[in-house]
Chains A and B, each alone.
Chain A
């Protein structure tokens, strides 16, 4: 192997690793706040990517309709929960966020899809659509289960993943799609060629990690989210709305997922079911990070990306085996270092 190939593999690994890092961060975030292991994270990726690609190709993405449908569902859940204490403001507020907003976005999507919108508008629309899906999804599927065990949440998460994946096939078909580059152009440094796209990936990932770090370290909402993660009851007692924390977490996760999707769809062809594997690799990183540490998750994600790149060169057949088996030594280490303290769990 010569230096050029190696540098190329490193670059490839870092690009993929950056995406895994973002997904890993989102998983850590959602798990910490809501205890949901977000298997549908992969669907946020494909929805974001394929919505973007469809819009860019001048097609109407079905996800916009899904957002409206889920919004109506969320509205119904809101009304049902508050059925004994209904008042006008609550209904109007819920209707605005859950029905009017997605309806407007749907109208915009229909309008723009017909005329092949510029890249920026496609991106914005895709992000908003997937963000709404994430938000309403939490309201409809997870909020009613917020008090249950991690296992029940996990199974619900699997159910949501199956439904979303099935819907993905319905919306986008079995054909893979590619989207236009977010930033075209490229330059070379030595023997390496940097495309605008890969630079976008790096800079957005770094920006997000810094932003999350600032958000959790400095803002009141960030601190409230962390408080919810540590102790739901305690957080409620000091006046933090745990529902709001969950909504914020899902909103962030869906935006991160959609963004990751938009960043990779110009590089690789994505299918309706590609998200699962991509999300799982984010998982691997998140597990290595222990589902609590952001920096460790980011570093682990880069390692996963590099291992994947190199193993696809050396033993492409065993690429996935190697990536997932990477976990075993990590788990072994975690086992040996497992704390002896009691964990109260039900």
Chain B
């Protein structure tokens, strides 16, 4: 939770600025422009910096917002206040349309795709008859309250900055919530988030809509500030410029968007008005200098200016420890739990000609620790991925509590009470341990994005964090709760993953090499924790290479070699099984 004080101070300062005696009116115009750009940049912060989805097309959404109100308030005479929701709805619904197409794209397709439709829409704006073609629409009515018309830049100033500050607050609230954690996990890939029930395409679409609505709001304000619209400010160049603003300010930070907007708008103004004096001559000297400065800035501070500025502030005290007395409802258990939790029956996975898992069958019963061992490349992690729905089996079946779950997506598997950790740790390094672990409880919370923005989710949120804190204490990392996950040692990060998996309230815990990177004492603690969990009624299926650890812990061992099961039994029988010895040590032994 961020402190509200700096924001209140900021709001008061912004409110006081127009009253400063001798304030040049032109500065107010600049501030108006900064506010408009900041709104769009804020959306991009969420979309690009936090969610990892780069969009060059935001200017088009500004255009949707501006043209919607322009058309409705001139041709149909609607009040600007009535067109506000309509502007937002138009940009939002077009975001749904474009988002459904594009957000599933990953990596570089998305930015290029947005660049392309950004351009296409720009040409559409400039060709459509009812949008006034290249001339646009003029004589848009000003915003008015009663008989007070916001005709001057100084009067609409308040509307703009109220919008900026309210949007910033809502955006920060959203980020600091159940939905926000899901969004923040997006940038690190979707497998981990989906393993805990996050519907990643939906989360991506959500940020896409959020960014588009903010852009639409900026467009609506722009139309009533300029009282005229034409296609130029909504073209690809503008879209690119918004992205700059976000990157210059610091793409991961809401206030970075505002800072970036201030820097870029002022810089452009300064360059435009002073450069011709220094370097006389025709040409866009300011564009040249602007471009060069941008590259230089990226080379000097690739993370943007906001984090750079913040690093000068004294480090803030770590967060409050959640009140662990709050209880979270238990995950609903399937009625009539059978004794066999998981049944893998002739599961097979082929990658082209390679058979990674070859008709493997085994089961996991209630209150049991089963170890899946085998040399490297035996198919252990692939088996995990088949069980958890990350991969779909080529043939065979997997049933949970007697019910077949073949090819169910990971989000459905976790709902059945099977949670997992990963061989390669998949935490979000720039989130705290507490926040990372709370992602595990995603399915046990209910608050949606709107509730989060309006802070109606606090009770739900407190219970989620309490559960996360309890699980962190349980695995013995209470002191690291508020550290960034990326700052922990690899062994500790594996333990954080276990705490996250425990937040699901699972009946079966799948651990992929949990003891790797742990010291001897830590391994013993881990073994004790797993025994306690079993005695508490949970089952554990683990992949592990540390034989001492496995032999002392497991009730039953399944041995895989080249994708095929070669043995199954108690640790004592496995130790003496000739097939197993052959697989591990070779024929001569």
Q: Is the CB of A331 within 8 A of B101?
A: yes
Cα A212 to Cα B85 in complex, Å, equals 53
Interface string of B47-73 (1 = CB under 8 A from A): 010001010000000000000000000
With both chains docked as a complex, state the minimum distance between the C-beta of B74 and any C-beta of chain A, in angstroms: 23
Among A95-103, A151-159, A220-228, the one that faces the other chain is A151-159
Least Cβ distance of A24 to chain B in Å?
12
Is B469 among interface residues, defined by CB-CB distance under 8 A?
no
Closest residue of B by beta carbon distance from A143: B299
Q: A163-B287, A338-B106 are in contact. Are A37 and B112 (CB under 8 A)?
A: yes
Question: Contacts A156-B294, A162-B294, A324-B116 given: A318-B106 contact, CB under 8 Å?
Answer: no
| CB <8 Å contact, B295 and A320 | no
Q: Identify the closest chain B residue to A344 (Cβ).
A: B189
A299 close to B (CB within 8 Å): no
Please, which residue of chain B has its CB at the minimum distance from the CB of A150? B108
Q: B127–A156 contact, CB under 8 A?
A: no
The 0/1 profile, CB within 8 Å of A marked 1, for residues 260-299 of chain B is 0000000000000000000001111111111111110011
Is B106 a contact of A145 with CB atoms below 8 Å? Answer: no
A contact residues around B54 at 8 Å (CB): 150-151, 154
Compute how far the CA of A332 lies from the CA of B112 in the bound complex, rounded to whole angstroms: 14
Knowing A173-B282, A320-B119, A331-B101, say if A152 contacts B112 (CB, 8 Å): no
Partner of A345, one of B48, B111, B189, B294: B189
Contact A145 B299 (CB under 8 A): yes
Q: Judging by beta carbons under 8 Å apart, are B295 and A160 in contact?
A: yes
Whether A148 sits at the interface, judged by CB under 8 Å, is yes
- State the CA gap A158–B282 with chains docked (Å): 22
Interface residues of A in 151-191 (CB under 8 A from B): 151-152, 154-156, 158-167, 169-170, 173-174
**B115 at the binding interface (Cβ < 8 Å):** yes
Contact A325 to B120, CB < 8 A, known contacts A151-B247, A166-B284: yes
Provide the residues of chain B in CB contact with A141, threshold 8 Å: 295
Q: Point out which of A141, A290, A335, A346 has the most chain B C-beta atoms below 10 A from its C-beta.
A: A335
CA distance A151 to B124 in the complex (A): 27
Interface residues on B, range: 35 or more
Mask, B409-427, CB within 8 Å of A = 1, is: 0000000000000000000
Knowing A151-B54, A160-B295, A166-B283 touch, does A324 contact B119 (C-beta < 8 A)?
A: yes
Does residue A284 face the partner (Cβ distance < 8 Å to B)? yes
Bound-complex Cα distance A290 to B105 (A): 11
Q: How many residues of A contact B (CB 8 A)?
A: 52
Closest to A31 in B: B108
- How far is B81's CA from A226's CA once the two chains are assembled, in angstroms? 57
- Cα A318 to Cα B243 with chains together (Å): 27
Q: B286: which A residues are within 8 A, CB to CB?
A: 166
Q: Which A residues are CB-close (under 8 A) to B236?
A: 280
Q: Write out the residue numbers on chain A whose beta carbons fall within 8 Å of the beta carbon of B123.
A: 318, 320-321, 324
A155, B298: Cβ atoms closer than 8 Å: yes
Encode contact with B along A325-345: 1 for CB under 8 Å, 0 otherwise: 101100110110010001111
Contact residues in A for B292 (Cβ distance below 8 Å): 159, 163
> With contacts A145-B302, A155-B247, A166-B284 known, is A284 near B116, CB below 8 A?
yes
A154 and B111 form a contact (CB under 8 A): yes
- Decide if B127 touches A321 in the complex (CB within 8 Å): yes
Any chain A CB within 8 A of the CB of B234? Answer: no
* B298 partner residues in chain A, CB cutoff 8 A: 145, 148, 152, 155-156, 159
Residue of B nearest to A317 (CB): B127
| Contact B109 A334, beta carbon cutoff 8 Å | yes
Is the CB of A287 closer than 8 A to any CB of chain B?
A: yes
Q: Mark A98-121, 1 if CB is under 8 A from B, else 0.
A: 000000000000000000000000
Interface status of B107 (Cβ within 8 A of chain A): yes
A144: interface (CB < 8 Å): yes
A317 to B129, CA, bound (A): 11
Contacts of A163 in B (CB 8 A): 287-292, 295
Task: Say yes or no for A291: interface residue by CB 8 A criterion.
Answer: yes
- Note all chain B residues with C-beta closer than 8 A to A166: 283-288, 290-291
Contact for A287 among B101, B112, B191, CB less than 8 A = B112
Cβ A152 vs Cβ B105 within 8 A: no
Q: Which 10 A-B pairs have the closest CB atoms?
A: A163-B291, A159-B294, A324-B120, A162-B291, A166-B288, A166-B287, A170-B283, A320-B123, A166-B284, A335-B104
**8 intermolecular pairs with C-beta atoms under 8 Å apart:** A37-B111, A144-B299, A152-B247, A280-B119, A324-B117, A334-B105, A342-B190, A345-B107
